[in-house]
Each structure stands twice: as structure tokens, then as C-alpha cells.
Structure 1
Amino acid sequence: MALINLSGNLLVICSSQHINLFKRQNSLLDYSLLSSIDITTIEVNLKGNKKKKTDQDKILCSSLSNNSKYFAVGTTSKLLLIFNLNENKELSQPFYCELIKAPTKICFLNNETVLVSNRFGSLFKFEISESKISEGAELLGHFSMLLDFCISPNGKFVLTADRDEKIRISRFPQTYVIEGFYFGHTSFVKSIAFIDDNKLISGGGDSIIYLWDINLFKCISTSCKVSETAIRKVGVVEIFEEEISKEGIICLPDQSNSILLFSLNDQQQMTKLCSFNCSNGNEYIFDFVVDVDRKTVFCVGRQGIYYFQPTTINLSSTGLTELKLLQFSPPLNNSLLNELNLSEDQLPLNSLYKIPLNGKNLEDYKN
């Protein structure tokens, strides 16, 4: 699995067990390596002098704080690792805590608070203070594996998406108050993202993007089926149509070498504008991140790191647009490229589809 995070001038690429920290140079699209660390070499001693084996550890999820001070990863050995990025932005020995179940997503609520969801269906909150992590406080739970969550732009609600085709909206931080549910997906919900305080998009196993009215708890519109595979991730990016700035919807299908771009018309109907494709048809894009300030989308695949800028493209003529390789000074080393090429999902999306009368899927919850 490969992941990409961005905050300010920092770009972080996680590939299997390695974390690679890059800094943007004078050029908008020129990055250099600052620091790298292999999490399997980290010594972890838990309470009671119990040691945690990390020699076979893999990174499942990651997040970079908005002030670029902390970088967090969740691992297959059920650890939450927090790296304090010093003034030189170097990766050093992290502070850490043990998680109950394998994590599915990490997100910084603010610069000192981390939210972590897991395969058991729980959402936990951890506080960071003086290079220590507090014991996790459980905020809410589902009777299904949590796959994604996000806080509303106004900070009043937390939305959680699960394997059982639903999205739940809870009051925040009073998460015991459930405001409602969003029903409509016919398979697991893998990714959710806010367009604004009132609108949410989602995607998952049914390969359809849904647009929701937050206040009315109903689906406003849906896209066509975007691919033959599940939707891995959805997001929002600024685009220009007829010289008017508006929000565009980006979608990453699973096992794909392309990212799809959609627009919303005045009636809130979705229209596909174009596909951003890698020239190599064998590429597999794992993840993307949006740089809101620079209106750029960065993505990581098996064969490199790419970018595209929707605001610089003529969207009046739909079609294919090639993804561009991001520049690094010096160029990316072969060990990182090899590791990206060998990256595999630790929780393949195909395993999230339910198989009737078959206990195979239960194994996912035991981790």
C-alpha cells in the first residue's frame, strides 16, 4: 500500500514500511528528500516491558498535521506512531501507543488531537501532549467495519462510513447524539468528502458517486457507474468552467491508472469532464491528495508520483489528459521506486464485498 500526505511545503510518501519526507523547493513542483525511516527498525516497548514485534509491520493509514509538526501512521501491528517533526523536519524515534484493532484511517482534528477509526467499527480520539499520547477515548461505534470518516467544515458533526452501505452523522463532540443516516449505497462506502457545510459526496463498492444534502438526509443526485471496480477515494478540487470558479469532484477507481473529474451544474447533476491518465497502462494509482492553496492534485502509484492542475486545463472539450510525473531533486532513488512497484493493499477492496453464507469475511474483523 502506498499513501500520500501534504501540508504546506511538506510532502510525505508512505510505501509498505517506509516513510519518505520531502520538502518543496523554490519551484512549485520540485521536491527534495529530507528524511526517511523504516518503521520495522523502530523499537517499541509497551506497558509491562512487553515488546511489540514490528519487523513485519506495514503502514495502513497516515496523516500530517496542518502545522506540519506531527506525522502519524497506523500499522498492521496495531500501533499508532506519532513523529514529532523538528525544525529540520527529520523523522526520528516516534512516540506511540497500542491500538485495540487495526486502524482504517487517521486524521488530525487539530494540531494536538488525532482521530483513528478501526476495523471493529470504533472511532477513537487521542490527545498529544509533550511527546506523549493519551489513552484513547472511544467517541462512537458501528456494528460494521469503519472505512472512512470526516468532520464537517463547521466542526459540528462527524460523519462515519462503513461496510454496511451506510453513512452516519453524529453530533460533535457529543457523538452519542446520532442526527441521522444516509442510505442509498448498495455496497460498502469506502470514501466520503465534504463539498461545503451542506453537501457531501461518497463512493464505494457500487462504483457510483452519491451527492447528499446534509440537512435533509437525502441523496440529491448520483453519477453514472464510473468503473467496473469499486471507488477507492473521492475528493473536491477547484475547477474553472467558462471562466467561473466552482467545485469539481475527483474520483479514483480501484486498480486504475486514471483519476476522473466531474462537475456539478446548477441543478446539482454530475457530469464527467475528463480523465487524467498515466501514459503507462499498467500503472496502479493508490492514493491522491489535494493542495487547495496551489490548486494541484498529487497522486502516488506503483511507478511514481504524479500531479495535475485542473484549473490550467480547458474543460470545455472533454477527453483524456495525461498525468505528469512530479520532479524531484535529486531524482527518486531506486529503492523507493522498487518498493512502490511491489506495494500491495493490506485490505483489498475486493475483500469488502459481502459473500452470503460464507464466513471468510469474518477474518477481516478479527484483526
Structure 2
Amino acid sequence: MEIMASLSINNNILVVSCGTKVLVSNRNEDTFNILEPPGLVGKIADKMDSDEEVKSEQKDTPASVVCVDLSRCNKWLAVCSSNKQLSLWSADNRSLLSNRVLTRTASKVKFTPSGRGVVVADKSGDAYLYSVQNPESEGDFLLGHLSMLLDVLITSEENYIITCDRDEKIRVSLFPNSYNIQSFCLGHTEFVSCIALVPHCAYVLVSGSGDGTLRFWNYVNGCQLSMIECSRNINMHCFSGNFLKQNTKQHTGGVEVSEDSNTQQSDICVSSNSLAVTQFSSCAIDKNSSLIAACISRFDGIAVYHVSGGTSNITVNFLEVVTIGVEPWAVHFSGVLLWCLAAKENHPLSVFEFSYDSLHFEFIKDNCDKKNLNILSQVNNKWELFKDICAPSLTPILYKRTVDNLQEYQEKKKARLASNI
């Protein structure tokens, strides 16, 4: 499994995952801790104990961090690891509260807004709800998709759960009785990688996809309100600036095909030649507008958009590109501070402050107070933990491959007609 990195911030706590470790920094307490997923427990450990071959090769291998989330109340930290486990930590004293076995490897973990539960979406398409108050209890099944779940969120009033998958679908279900489906938001032509509610208007959902678009929805009735083609914005703004990564492997519409692949290039058809929206973060500027910072696959920067209005009059404008120099691992807004995690040697973590007035706006790098500068220093001094991290590479395998049999059919048809003459 490839080693990945992620970034999560809530109020004064910053959480960075890097490979097999989680870095936790509290700007108020001036503390810095390094956590590791605990060892195997339960059914997984029993299976490895009974399989000597697996035991010798894998049991002592440290588990990689797959996804993390920090509760809104800043009390709990959830960590899902590659060994199919969910560990719950106290964010106050960094103590391990529980370690539970998952049915399958997680793809996303999210706390409910109240912090009383944590939802785990897995790669088989199922979502489970785990109790925080009863940290040893098993998870309750919520819902299932027919393909891999890529993101999940619960609305602030905890009346809806919204999930998205590899099959271009966004499903809006009641919560916690998720067998009741409210709506589907349909329109993306490739996998839906990320979803979030627009900060200044909780009735609008924004989604990013492998088709290179950001789409805005009235999620209650499933109606699309607006669509932005991120790849077009980027190409118009800075194509001549050589921001796109030059890859040694061949790409066909986002599907990466290596030279030793068993599938020939001519046999692969893809529906889009767009750059994928891999993730985004958002923040409210005021009660009428928000910012969205989007990461695009193979793009060495962050595309920033201004969103205003609501379900009846939403307006989305492209603002600028924040240049990073490498493809970002993760981005996260904390207020008007945009934090970015990337493969920058000895400086993996950066922060950009958004400054604006009626005539001018700009992002100013590393312009923050002393406590935030201390957090930057703490993380950036741990470069040895980041140097083996892989760039986001899940995107290529999410594009669906279909075999074009038309040429083969035509050849067989000609041969059949020739044999009848």
C-alpha cells in the first residue's frame, strides 16, 4: 500500500497524517505529539496468528494511516489504518480510548457534528456508524452503495447523510435511518471524489469529480445549481506556465497505462480528458460568500473560487491559482488561513493568508501569528517522516476502463462474409 498524507484542522488543533504516524499540534497548549496506529486486535490478529506465512510477512509491518478526522468539539480524534482498524483517541491528552476492527478497509472517516458518533465509509461501498460514548461497541450498518465510497458527510442538524462513490453518484439519505433515500444528485460523468456543504449556505452541496468539474446542488431535491470546469479555468489561466506534471507513464484521459500493462492502449476508452478534482476545502468570508480551494490531479497549484448566493441565485467565480510548485497532498482552510501539505523538502507545511477588500485580494504565504508559525516549525522539522510519502495516485485507477470490441467485431465480420463467398 502506498504511503499517503492528509491534513485536518479544527480551531486550535492541527492533525497531519504521514505514512504510519499522526502528528497532533495544539497551538493553545504549545504541545506536539506523534501518534501511531495500535497493533492488530480481534479477528484480524486471530487470523494472522493462525496463518504462519502471513504472520511472518505482515504481522510486524506497521499499519499505514488511511484517513483521519477531528471532531468539531475538539475532544476526539478518529484514525483508520490499513490493517482494517478504527482507533479513537482523546484529542486532549492523546490517549487511546478504543481500537475496533472494521469489516473492510476504510476510505473515509467523519465524526457526526455532535461528536457522539463516527461514520466510517469503506472501499466496498458500505457505511457504518460507531459510537463515541460506548467506544468498545460494534458499528451499526447505515447504508450501502454498489461501488467504492469516496466521501461522506453528515449535515449540521444530523438529519441527512450524504455519500458519493466511484459510480458518479451522490446519494442523500435520512440520518440515522439511512434506508430512507431523500434524493440523488446526478450529473457527474466520472467518480465523485469529494463533497462538502457551502459554508455560508448549508443548503447547498458542492462536489468535485474525476470529470474535472465542481458542481453545486440543492441536495434536498437533487437539482444542480451550477457547474464549474476547473481544468478549463486552469488551462486558460496558466497553461503556458508549465504547471502540469510531466509524467513518465502514458496517460489517456486520466487513465494511467504503464508499458507493461496487459491492456493495450487501443483497447481503453475513457469518457473524459479532464484533470480530476482530487479534493477541496472551503471557508466562509461573510454570511453571503465563501472561498473554495481545489486541488487538481497532476497540477502544481491550488485553484481558488469565490462562491456567493444560495439555492436560488448562486454565483461562482474563479479567483486565482496559488502556486505551490508540486502537486499538493492536502489543503485545509482554517478561517481565512489556507494550510497546504506538499512534498516540499524541509518545508512540507505552508500557510497562506487570504487578504481582500472591495478592489483587491491576495494570498500571502506564511503571514500568520507566532503560534501558527510555531506549528509550522514543529511540522517542518519532521521532514524525515514525509520524505517517503507518495503523491496522490488513487485517481488514475478510479477511472473506469471499457474494452472497445468494435474493431475485433468488424474483422470477424469481414472474415465471416469472405468465407461465405
TM (normalized to structure 1)? Answer: 0.82
From 109, 121, 128, give the equivalent of 2:125.
Answer: 121
Taking the aligned partners of 1:289 and 1:330, their CA distance within structure 2 comes to 14
Q: In 2, Cα distance between the equivalents of 1:348 and 1:112? A: 31
| Amino acid paired to 2:331 | F
How far did residue 214 of structure 1 move? 2.1
Counterpart of 2:202 (choices 197, 214, 220) is 197
Summarize the alignment of residues 1-367 of structure 1 with structure 2, pairs less than 5 Å apart: 1-25=4-28, 32-39=30-37, 42-46=38-42, 50=46, 53=59, 55-86=61-92, 89=93, 91-93=94-96, 95-109=98-112, 110-129=114-133, 132-195=135-198, 196-226=201-231, 228-239=274-285, 246-264=289-307, 267-278=313-324, 281=325, 283-291=326-334, 294-303=335-344, 304-310=348-354, 312-314=355-357, 316=359, 321=363, 323-324=365-366, 327-328=373-374, 331-332=377-378, 336-344=382-390, 348-357=394-403
Instruction: Tell whether the 8 Å contact from 2:78 to 2:88 is kept in structure 1 after alignment.
Output: yes
Structure 1 residues 162-208: Cα deviation after superposition (integer angstroms, max 9, x where no partner): 00011011111110111121111010000011113321110110111
Give the SS at the match of 1:185.
Answer: coil
48-57 or 106-115, which deviates more: 48-57
Which letter does structure 2 place at the counterpart of 1:199? V
CA pair 327-263 structure 1, distance change in 2 beyond 3 A: same
Distance in 2 separating the partners of 1:24 and 1:161:
34
Q: Secondary structure at the match of 2:118?
A: strand
CA distance in 1, matches of 2:180, 2:376: 51
Change (3 A) 1:48 1:290: closer
SS in 1 for 2:189: coil
**Cα 1:50–1:346, aligned 2, differ >3 Å: closer, same or farther?**
farther
Note closer, same or farther for the CA distance 1:329–1:126 as it changes in structure 2 (3 Å cut).
closer
CA contact (8 A) 2:104 2:124 kept: yes
Asked if structure 1 preserves the Cα contact closer than 8 Å seen for 2:194 and 2:207, the reply is yes
Q: Secondary structure at the match of 2:25?
A: strand
1:26-56 Cα deviation digits (max 9, x unpaired):
9xxxxx55211333xx333325972763624
SS of the aligned residue for 2:385 comes to helix
Report if the CA contact (8 A) 2:353-2:364 is conserved: no
Q: How far has the Cα of 1:265 moved from its partner?
A: 5.0
Match of 2:243 in 1: none
Change (3 A) 1:258 1:143: same
Gaps of 5+ in 1: 27-31, 359-367
SS in structure 2 opposite 1:187? coil
- The question of whether the paired residues in 2 share the 8 Å contact of 1:116 and 1:124 is answered with yes
8 Å contact 2:353–2:365 — kept in the other structure? no
| CA deviation after TM superposition for structure 1 residue 102, in Å | 0.9
Q: Secondary structure at the match of 1:341?
A: coil
Contact 1:20 1:37 in 2 (8 A): yes
Distance between the aligned counterparts of 2:96 and 2:64, measured in 1?
Answer: 17
Secondary structure of 1:344 counterpart: coil
What does residue 247 of structure 2 align with? none
Give the Cα separation in 2 of the matches to 1:62 and 1:202: 20
Greater Rg by CA? 2
How far apart, in 2, do the equivalents of 1:33 and 1:223 lie? 41
Distance 2:376 2:172 in 1: 46
Q: CA deviation at 1:309?
A: 2.8
Determine the C-alpha separation between the residues in 1 that align with 2:343 and 2:31. 19
For residues 275-296 of structure 1, the C-alpha deviation after alignment (integer angstroms, 9 at most, x for no partner) is 2222xx2x231112222xx432
- RMSD across aligned positions (CA): 2.7
Percent identity of equivalent pairs = 23
Distance (whole Å) between structure 2 residues aligned to residue 68 and residue 200 of structure 1:
24
Aligned length, in residue pairs: 337
